[in-house]
Each structure stands twice: as structure tokens, then as C-alpha cells.
Structure 1
Amino acid sequence: MRTSYQYRLKPNKQQREIIDNTLDMLRCQYNYQLAERFDWYERWGCSIDRCPLVCHLPELKDKKNRFSQQASLKQLKVDRPWYRQIHSQVLQEVPKKVEIVFDRWLKGDGNGKKSGRPRFKRVGRYKTFTYPQFKQHHFVGNKITLSKIGDVKVIVHRPMPDGFVIKTVSVTKKANGYYATLSLDNKEVPTIKPDFNADNIVGIDVGLIDFYVASDDTRIVAPKYLRKAERKLKSAQRKVSRRKKGSNRRKKAIKKLGVRHKKVADTRKDFHFKTAKQLFSKYDVIAVEKLNVKGLARTRLAKSVNDAGWSQFINILEFKAENAGLKVIFVNPNGTSQECSGCGHKVKKPLSQRVHRCPNCNISLCRDLNASINIKERGTHALKAQIMSSKKSL
């Protein structure tokens, strides 16, 4: 099982300068290698669908890929000796990042969904570098040894779980400081816990008024952290706009604005983790709708949808389920709020109507509660189908 722990770093002044210089040099190399990819694609990337019977085709240059760009790093250290200050494996991660973003633009991800054209990183926008191989003895107590940087103090707010081995370490610069993300692995942890109960299932319907309504009629009010912090964010943003571009005062104002935004994001993430833990302490299976959150974020409810953070919450649910040996079931969201949970009769109603009343069976209950009961029923059927298919495969 893979998991990750994030700790805050407390580097000294010299170590902060080294980390900042490393990020800036990696940013320059990222932009250069991305430009190489664009140059090759613009020259040779288009397909030739017709040509004269006799024509001259220029010699095709070698296509840039991750390994050819990694091989060029040896000459880079000869031409630019200051790149020797960066650990070789950290530098080799840059061509890997370039290949990932470039392939997502041309080929798409595993589901075939393509991303936009990759953009060059301006100053301050390259914020993470990774050590792909890390020795366990380099993290002892409250000190972590980072190659080319030194021994950095760590705030260990929680101990690492027993039996887990550190695979990679990523150093990230955020608005309020530096962080180390440790990727941990333990192959002995079971994927499903021994006392897993498939009948202990709940359906949840996420919303904007109530963050979620469960099929057992428990609910949590949406906290709306962004809405509550809007006044302070507006004041901080006004200070940035009033400062002269390029001045130190503007840089300080930008940093304060970033800290305020990070506080909103951190409080929302903390709420999501605590809510997920609360759900999995009571249930073994959680059924939730497979929502198109990106589509909903383009509507007039965009700010409220982004403030709720449904995508992050669902990802945390999956992460928690995997770590606890439990399950999250995704169901089709079509008609969950229109179908009657008592008789299955479709009762069309606008979004403003918050009470479900069925003329067929005379049931009357909260619209979101009705949807969560339907989600639970669909999740139960989907889980049974998964169990049957797994038994057949065995």
C-alpha cells in the first residue's frame, strides 16, 4: 500500500537560498526542454497526407524524448557548471515532467482526455523538486538529509507508521514556507480489512446548502470557507493592486495574499479529512455520485462549487478507503433526485424545490435525503455486481 506524509521544513537562511536557486535553475531547464519539444513538433510533427510523385523530403531529426533529454544533462553541466549544485536524480526528473505534460497535450491521459497546451513557467511558478530514491536512514528524529542541501530541520507533527519504507521525497515551496512530502510503501498491508462488512453501506448526496446528506438522515452544513474569508481576501488583493510592479512592497503583499488563500485551502482540506474519517468510522462502504464537477464549475454556481471542493473530498474518500481497507462506490447521478425512493416513480421538480412529494405513494421528505437513499440503493446493486464478478473470476 502506498501513502504519503507531509511535514513542514525549517531550513536556515543558507538552505533557503539553495532551495530557491535549485527551483529557479530547474525552472529554466524545464522551459528549455519544453521549447525543444515544441520546436521539434512544429518542424516535423505534422503528418504528410499528399505530395508530388517526385519530391525531396528533408532528413527527419531525432524526436526529443525523456531519455535523449536526460542524456543531454551531462553536457549541460559542462557548459553551465552551476548546475552541478543540483543532485543528478533531481535534475533527471525535469525531462520526466516535460514528457508527462507534453504527452497529455498530444495523446491524453489513461482515459484519453487531453490537457491544454503546456505553458512555460515564469519566475516563482516552479515550486517542487523530487528525490526519486531516498535512503531510510536519511530521516532520523527531526532532521532530514537532502543531497546538496544538507541536514534540514523537520516539524514531525505525527510519527511515521511502522513497517512503511520511504520511497521518494518531494520538496515544495508554498506561500507560508517549505514542505517535504514523503511517499511511503508497505506491501504487507491488506487492501481489504478482514472484518469488511458489505452490508454496512451508506449513500451520501453532496450539495451546496448541506455539504452532504446521508441516507440515514445525518447531514453536515456546508462550511463555506471561501465566502467567509472574502472580505480579508479582497483587502489583501487590493493592497497587491496598489503596489508598484516589481517593487519589494508588492512582493510582500503577494506573499500575504498567498498565505490567506492557503489558509482557506488548508481549512477546507482539514474539514474534508475529518468528514471522511467520521464517515469511515461508522460505515464500511460509501456510495457517492460520479459527478462532472468541472462542468458544474462552469455554471453560475461556480464559486459555490469550488468553495465546497467536491473533487478534493471524493479523492480524500478514496484515499481513506484504500488506507482503511474499505470501499467507495460511484453511481450514475442521473435522476437520483427525481426518482422516488419509495416507489421509483419519477417526480420532476426544479432545483429550487427542496422537498420531494410523490403523488403515487404520498411520501414527503427532503429532496437531498431522497437522493441519498437512491444513491445507497444504486451503490448496493453495484457492489453486489462487483462481488459476483470477482467470485466468477476466481
Structure 2
Amino acid sequence: MRTAYQYKLRPTKLQAIEIDRWLSMLCAQYNYLLADRFNWYEQNRSPVNACPLICYLPELRDAPDYYSQKKKLPQLKKSHPWYAKIYSQVLQDVVKRVKVTFDRFLKGDSNGKCSGRPRFKSRSRYRTFTYPQIKGECLQDNLINLPMFGKVKVILHRSIPHGFKLKTVSITKKADGYYVTLSLEDLTVPTIKPDFDPNKITGIDVGLKEFLTTSEGETVTIPQPYRKAQKRLRVIQKRVARRKKGSSRRQKAVKQLGCQHKKVADKRKDFHFKTAKYLLNKYEVIAVEDLNVKGLARTRVAKSVLDAGWSSFLSILTNKAVNAGLLVVPVSAHNTSQDCSNCGEKVPKKVHKRWHECAHCGCSIDRDQNAAINIKNRAVGHLGFK
């Protein structure tokens, strides 16, 4: 099992300047390697049924790949000596990032879905570099020892669990400072419980009126961190728009805007983790809807959907359940609000109608709780519980 712990760094002024210098050089190398791949791709591809009679013949060479580009790094350090001060594996990780993004553009991901054309990164958009391999003893006494960089102070707000093995270290520059992300591996894989208590199974229906409603009728209020921060964000955004591009005052305003957006994201993430922990402490099996959040984010309620962060919450809930040996069961979301949870008959209702009343069996219940019960019943049938 792999997990990640993130801590705040407290570098000195000289160390902060050095981190920025590394990021600047790695960004330039990333763009150069990506351009090399694009040059070969554009010059050596031609439609089979539309080959031009007169065309430019480029210099014949093999397609640049991960290994050929990595072999050029020693020559890079000779021609550009300042790159020799960067740890070799950090440079190799840049080559890997180019390979991954270009392969997704041409071949697609594991599901066969191709991403868009990779973009060259500006200096402000290249924020992370990674040590792919690092010794577990690098973290001692609130200091992390980074190869060819030195010791940097880190705020250990929580200790690393015993038995976890350190795999990779990533340094990230965010709006409010620098962070280190430790990728940890635990060889003891938790097993799913063989038998579950039927009384500790629930279904949850996520919504925009309440963040979620359980099949027992319990609700969790939606926090809406973005909508509550909109007034403040509007003021700072105007400040950014009115200042001259390239000026130091504009850079300060942009940083202030980034800090405010990060604050909103942190509030949402904290709410998701606390809600997931509360549910997993109370239930052993949680049934959820298999939602198409990307599709919902293109509708008229897109701002509210993205502010709620359903996709992020369900991902956190699933990961935490796996770590605890519990189960999160996704079920079809089709007609969960329309079907009666008592008799199964379809009771059509529009979105604004928030109360479910069945004319066939007389069931009268909140619309969201009715949907949550349907979700629970579908999960119980899927798992084969009685």
C-alpha cells in the first residue's frame, strides 16, 4: 500500500532562492525535451493516403524516447555546467515526466483515453521536482537531508508510522510557501473484513441542498467554501486585473489571490477528510452513487457541484475505507430519486420537489433519504446480504 504525507518546509532565504533556481532550470529542460519530441513527431509523420509529392526531408534519426533522452544528460552537464549542481535522478525524473505526458497524448492512459496535446510550461506553472529514490534516514530531528541540496527544516506535525518505507520525496512550491511530500510504502496490506454487521451498512446520497443524506435520515450540512469566499476573491481579482502586467505589485496581488484560493481548497479538503472519518467510524459498508461528476460540472449548477467536490470526497472515502479494511460500494445512480424505496414503483418528480410521496403504498419521506435507501438496497442486493 502506498500513501503520501505532506509537510511544510521552512527553508532559509538562500535555500528558497536555490529551490527556485532548480525549478527554473528543470522547467527549461522539460520544455527542451518536449520540443525535441514534437520536432521529430511533426517531421516524420504523414498521412498514408495524402503524402505530398514535394516535401521537406528531415535528418533521419530514431524517435526520441526515454532512454535516448536520458543518455544526453551527461552531455548536457558538460555543455551547461550549471546543470551539474542538480542531483542526477532529479534530472532523470524530468525525462520521465516528458515520456508520461507524451505517451498519454499518443497512446492514451490505461483506459485508452488520450489526453490533449502537451503544453510547454511557463516558469510559474512548473512547481515540483522529485527525488525518485532516497534513503529512509534522510529525515531526522525536524530536518530533511536532500542529496546535493542540503538539510532543510521541516515542520513534522505528525510522525511517520512505524514500519513504513520511504520511497520518493517531492518538493513543491505553492502560493504560501514550500512543501515536501513523502511517498511511503507499507508492506502490510489490509484485508477486507470477511463478514460485515448488517446493522452497520448504509447508503449515502450526495446533493446540493445537504452535502449528504444517509439512509437513516442523518444529514451533513454542505459548507460551500468557495461561495463564502467569493466576495473576498472578487476584491483580490480586481486588484490583479488593475495592476500592470510584469510589475512587482501585480506579482504580490497574484500571490495573494493564490493564497486565498488555496485557503478555500484546504477548507474543502479538511471537510472531506473529517466527514469520511465520521462515516467510517460509524459504518462498515457504505453504498454510494457512481456519479458522472464531469458531466454534472457542465450543467447550470456547475459552480455548486465543483464547490461541493463530490469526486474528491468519494475518492478520499474509498481510500480511507481500503486502509481500514472496510468497503465502499458504488452502485448505479439511475432513478434512485424516482423509485419508491418501500414498494419499488416509479414516482416521477421534478428537481424542485424535495418530498417523496408514493401513491401506491403511501410512503412519505424526504426525497434524499428515499434515494439513500434505494442506494443501500442496491448495494445489499449486489453483495448478496439478506
- Normalising by the smaller structure, the TM-score range is over 0.9
Paired residues for 1:1-394 under 5 Å? 1-49=1-49, 61-193=61-193, 197=197, 200-384=200-384
Count of equivalent residues: 384
CA distance in 2, matches of 1:338, 1:205: 13
The verdict on how the C-alpha distance between 1:148 and 1:51 changes in structure 2, with shifts beyond 3 A counting, is closer
Q: Measure how far apart 1:26 and its partner are.
A: 0.8
Q: Determine helix, strand or coil for the equivalent of 1:210.
A: coil
* Deviations 1:121-166 (CA, angstroms, capped at 9, x unpaired): 0121001111111111110121100112211111011111111111
Unpaired segments of 5 or more residues in structure 1?
386-394
* Deviations 1:220-258 (CA, angstroms, capped at 9, x unpaired): 111000000001101111111111111111111110110
* Deviations 1:18-61 (CA, angstroms, capped at 9, x unpaired): 11111111111111111111111112234524779xx9998853
CA distance in 2, matches of 1:42, 1:247: 37
CA distance in 2, matches of 1:18, 1:297: 40
CA distance in 2, matches of 1:79, 1:137: 34
Amino acid at match of 1:90: V
Is the Cα–Cα contact under 8 Å of residues 193 and 324 in structure 1 kept in the other structure? no
CA distance in 2, matches of 1:297, 1:313: 15
Is the Cα–Cα contact under 8 Å of residues 288 and 329 in structure 1 kept in the other structure? yes
Q: Determine helix, strand or coil for the equivalent of 2:228.
A: helix
Amino acid at match of 1:297: A
Is the Cα–Cα contact under 8 Å of residues 171 and 180 in structure 2 kept in the other structure? yes
Aligned sequence identity (%):
58
Is the Cα–Cα contact under 8 Å of residues 338 and 347 in structure 1 kept in the other structure? yes
CA distance in 1, matches of 2:73, 2:196: 50
CA distance in 2, matches of 1:46, 1:293: 38
Q: Determine helix, strand or coil for the equivalent of 1:133.
A: coil
Is the Cα–Cα contact under 8 Å of residues 289 and 333 in structure 2 kept in the other structure? yes
The verdict on how the C-alpha distance between 1:47 and 1:358 changes in structure 2, with shifts beyond 3 A counting, is same
Q: Measure how far apart 1:196 and its partner are.
A: 5.3
CA distance in 2, matches of 1:246, 1:233: 21
CA distance in 2, matches of 1:321, 1:64: 42
The verdict on how the C-alpha distance between 1:336 and 1:60 changes in structure 2, with shifts beyond 3 A counting, is farther
Is the Cα–Cα contact under 8 Å of residues 129 and 171 in structure 2 kept in the other structure? yes
Is the Cα–Cα contact under 8 Å of residues 201 and 286 in structure 2 kept in the other structure? yes
TM-score, reference length from structure 1: 0.93
Amino acid at match of 1:379: A
Q: Measure how far apart 1:206 and its partner are.
A: 0.6
* Deviations 1:272-319 (CA, angstroms, capped at 9, x unpaired): 000000000011111111111111111111110110011111111122
Q: Measure how far apart 1:348 and its partner are.
A: 1.3
Amino acid at match of 1:228: K
Amino acid at match of 1:137: E
Is the Cα–Cα contact under 8 Å of residues 226 and 307 in structure 1 kept in the other structure? yes
Is the Cα–Cα contact under 8 Å of residues 136 and 166 in structure 2 kept in the other structure? yes
Q: Measure how far apart 1:192 and its partner are.
A: 2.5
CA distance in 1, matches of 2:238, 2:244: 12
TM-score, reference length from structure 2: 0.95
The verdict on how the C-alpha distance between 1:68 and 1:383 changes in structure 2, with shifts beyond 3 A counting, is farther
Amino acid at match of 1:105: F
Alignment RMSD: 2.1
The verdict on how the C-alpha distance between 1:139 and 1:194 changes in structure 2, with shifts beyond 3 A counting, is farther
Amino acid at match of 1:376: K
Q: Determine helix, strand or coil for the equivalent of 1:124.
A: helix
Amino acid at match of 1:142: N
Amino acid at match of 2:161: P
* Deviations 1:152-197 (CA, angstroms, capped at 9, x unpaired): 1110111111111111111110000111111111112423357754
CA distance in 1, matches of 2:176, 2:342: 51
Unpaired segments of 5 or more residues in structure 2?
none
Q: Measure how far apart 1:384 and its partner are.
A: 3.4
CA distance in 2, matches of 1:172, 1:57: 43
The verdict on how the C-alpha distance between 1:323 and 1:371 changes in structure 2, with shifts beyond 3 A counting, is same
Amino acid at match of 1:361: C
